[in-house]
A and B are shown apart, each in its own frame.
Chain A
Amino acid sequence: MPSGWSLIRLGTVLVYLFMFAPVAVVILLAFNASQFGAFPMEGLSLRWFAALWENDAIVRAFETSLLLGLLTAVISTTLGVLASLAMVRYDFPGKNLIAAALIAPILVPEVVLAVALLLFLGAIGVPKSFPLLLAGHVIFTLPFVILVVQARLVGVKREYEEAAMSLGAGPVETFFQITLPLILPAVLAGALFAFTISFDDITGTLFWKPGGVETVPTQIFAMLRNSISPEINALGAVMIVITVAVPLLGAALARWLSARGRTG
């Protein structure tokens, strides 16, 4: 069935083109020398990247997004690793219900989560603020961390931990000496996942952010209200490079760590 197979191959190429062509066009137009963020292009230029750097609103948005993403990753990963240990290493009554509760934040539509959190925390005296944003980002990144860490932890034999304990290590010492090094790639992957989801989030963020505070996505959204300028394409290109390069670096780091673990 060679013709059928070549049709499938052609279809695959077309789908990949559909997924990546628009992104490639954003990067291409970021280098457009023209005043307008569109075709035809009038030569290549870095002026829009320079303009980004001089735009205070964008620089501030970057700082906010980075801080929010880092804090979210740290908190979410800590909570997620502890919960994953309990779910994989122990049996206890009501485990199925707990498992459902732990992934519930992805099952609830983000708008609903955003409204519920905004109104409830508002009612108990937490206004729209950075802590509210952080709380929101932690809750909807937590399930992703748990899913990633659990998947890895299942593959780590508990005999290693039991051996450490039988040699006199306490549970905390066992965790840091044995378990954590073994699941480190997954922990890093979970943290990266949490960071990028937070860095990229817009729907919840629009509900929770106080007036005057923008993250990079909400800043882009606000700029889109006017028209699509070359500056937005440049900002888009920077975002693409960050959100793609960070996970690739992370994957390289994880590979290096596990390679070192094997030889050392």
Chain B
Amino acid sequence: MASLDPKDNPSRPWTLLSPALTAILLLLVIPVCFIAVYSFWLRTATGADVAGFHLDNWAEVLTDSFYRDILLFTLWIAFATTVICALVGYVPAYFIATTQYRHKAFLLLLLMLPFWISYIIRTMSWINILGVSGVVNVALQWVGLTGEPLQMLYNQWTVIVGLVHFLLPFMILNLYVSLYGIDRNLVDAARSLGCTGWQAFREVTLPLSLPGLAAGSLLCFVLAAGTYITPLVLGGPTDAMFANLVFDAIITQLNWPLGSALSLVLLILLGGLVILYNRFVGMSQIAKSFG
């Protein structure tokens, strides 16, 4: 008789898993190992690869101040984006989690909507807002606050605005999941014991929402640090981020060993962050937002 008891068919889960695992092994695990090896090869001036164990790419990536500055700039952008997302995202997350408003489900649905709206469209939409003939400049000139249009686009702050716009829903959703799970009686208990509303928030609600804050922050930071398109669309010529370096090395210069070393730097940094997070918080927190 067929059965779900694993003792009767120990191989069945592996049969079910094999297509997905094969794909992950062949399209992710082996390729990452491959570029790890490749990063120790050399690309000569003639364009040929020299196999072997050369530390040249790594020495260049780790010591050249050009790469270091862009790495630091990338981490700064990701950090600023994450902090702004956390501060700005907490308010609506708190509102949706605690409100008695009857269109709450609609507010949540609206929150999911940006996930579906194209990233490139959302990024470029800021040109319509902040550009020389965008909404803000037209409004300012109409009011008469400025005669000449202001140049607000193409600097690191517009990159941050674009990234916050892109990543805010991730933050709000994770915060919401955490805040919604808090037992309201705890806050009421704190209030009945004499806490002010603000004290109750600081002593009870905020600490209990930290898992969601951590999950949202991890997603924001990792996605912001790996971004490629936003600095190209909304940044100036000096606002290149690390992923732009990788693209240039691989696609423009065709220096694949160097590009491999650069991508591994990004992987190690951001992967390290994910591992730390997994150790202290656990991946299940992020999975909750999908439930």
The answer to whether A and B assemble together is yes
A85 to B107: give the CA distance in the assembly, Å: 33
Quick check: A22 and B125 within 8 Å, CB to CB? Answer: yes
- B21 within 8 A of partner (CB): yes
Query: Could you give, for residues 157-200 of chain B, a 1 whenever the CB lies within 8 Å of some chain A CB and a 0 otherwise?
Result: 00000000100110010000000000000000000000001100
Quick check: B20 and A15 within 8 Å, CB to CB? Answer: no
Query: Could you give, for residues 72-108 of chain A, a 1 whenever the CB lies within 8 Å of some chain B CB and a 0 otherwise?
Result: 0000001110110111011110000010111111011
- A68 within 8 A of partner (CB): no
* A247 with B134, Cβ < 8 A, contacts A29-B128, A90-B13, A109-B270 known: no
Please name the residue on chain B nearest to A135 by beta carbon.
B27
B118 partner residues in chain A, CB cutoff 8 A: 199-200, 216-217, 220, 236, 239-240, 243
* A151 with B128, Cβ < 8 A, contacts A109-B222, A217-B119, A240-B118 known: no
Interface size on A, residues (CB 8 A): 98
Which one of B118, B126, B222, B247 has the highest number of Cβ atoms from chain A below 10 Å of its Cβ? B118
- B61 within 8 A of partner (CB): no
Within 8 A of B (CB), among A113-149: 113, 115-121, 123, 135-136, 138-139, 142, 144, 146-148
Query: Could you give, for residues 148-161 of chain A, a 1 whenever the CB lies within 8 Å of some chain B CB and a 0 otherwise?
Result: 10010000001001
Overall SS of chain B's interface: helix
Which one of A36, A37, A113 has the highest number of Cβ atoms from chain B below 10 Å of its Cβ? A113
Overall SS of chain A's interface: helix
Please name the residue on chain A nearest to B256 by beta carbon.
A119
Quick check: A111 and B226 within 8 Å, CB to CB? Answer: yes
- B212 within 8 A of partner (CB): no
How many B residues are at the interface, by size bracket?
Answer: 35 or more
Which one of B107, B128, B133, B233 has the highest number of Cβ atoms from chain A below 10 Å of its Cβ? B128
Quick check: A90 and B12 within 8 Å, CB to CB? Answer: yes
Within 8 A of A (CB), among B94-147: 94-96, 107, 110, 113-114, 116-122, 124-129, 131, 133-135, 138
A82 to B24: give the CA distance in the assembly, Å: 14
**CB within 8 A of B243: which of A37, A105, A203?**
A203
Quick check: B197 and A4 within 8 Å, CB to CB? Answer: yes
* A16 with B92, Cβ < 8 A, contacts A116-B28, A118-B250, A158-B4 known: yes
A88 to B222: give the CA distance in the assembly, Å: 28
Quick check: B128 and A22 within 8 Å, CB to CB? Answer: yes
- A19 within 8 A of partner (CB): yes
Quick check: B27 and A117 within 8 Å, CB to CB? Answer: yes
A101 to B127: give the CA distance in the assembly, Å: 39
Please name the residue on chain B nearest to A165 by beta carbon.
B2
Quick check: B169 and A243 within 8 Å, CB to CB? Answer: no
- B31 within 8 A of partner (CB): yes
**Closest CB in chain B relative to A223 CB, distance in Å:** 9
Quick check: B19 and A82 within 8 Å, CB to CB? Answer: yes
- A18 within 8 A of partner (CB): yes
Quick check: B271 and A107 within 8 Å, CB to CB? Answer: yes
**Closest CB in chain B relative to A57 CB, distance in Å:** 16
* A22 with B20, Cβ < 8 A, contacts A11-B91, A107-B274, A206-B247 known: no
B280 partner residues in chain A, CB cutoff 8 A: none
A112 to B31: give the CA distance in the assembly, Å: 10
Please name the residue on chain B nearest to A7 by beta carbon.
B91
Please name the residue on chain A nearest to B38 by beta carbon.
A119
B88 partner residues in chain A, CB cutoff 8 A: 15, 18
- B66 within 8 A of partner (CB): no
* A103 with B2, Cβ < 8 A, contacts A39-B134, A111-B228, A119-B34 known: no
**Closest CB in chain B relative to A158 CB, distance in Å:** 6
A180 partner residues in chain B, CB cutoff 8 A: none
A243 partner residues in chain B, CB cutoff 8 A: 116-118
* A217 with B17, Cβ < 8 A, contacts A15-B168, A105-B24 known: no
* A79 with B31, Cβ < 8 A, contacts A105-B24, A119-B260, A243-B116 known: no
**CB within 8 A of A104: which of B6, B14, B24, B232?**
B24
A170 to B38: give the CA distance in the assembly, Å: 48
A8 partner residues in chain B, CB cutoff 8 A: 91, 94-95
Quick check: B32 and A108 within 8 Å, CB to CB? Answer: yes
* A202 with B120, Cβ < 8 A, contacts A12-B95, A79-B20, A118-B250 known: yes
- B246 within 8 A of partner (CB): yes
- A1 within 8 A of partner (CB): yes
A207 to B263: give the CA distance in the assembly, Å: 13
A108 partner residues in chain B, CB cutoff 8 A: 28, 32, 267, 271
Within 8 A of A (CB), among B3-32: 3-4, 6, 10, 12-14, 16-17, 19-21, 23-24, 27-32
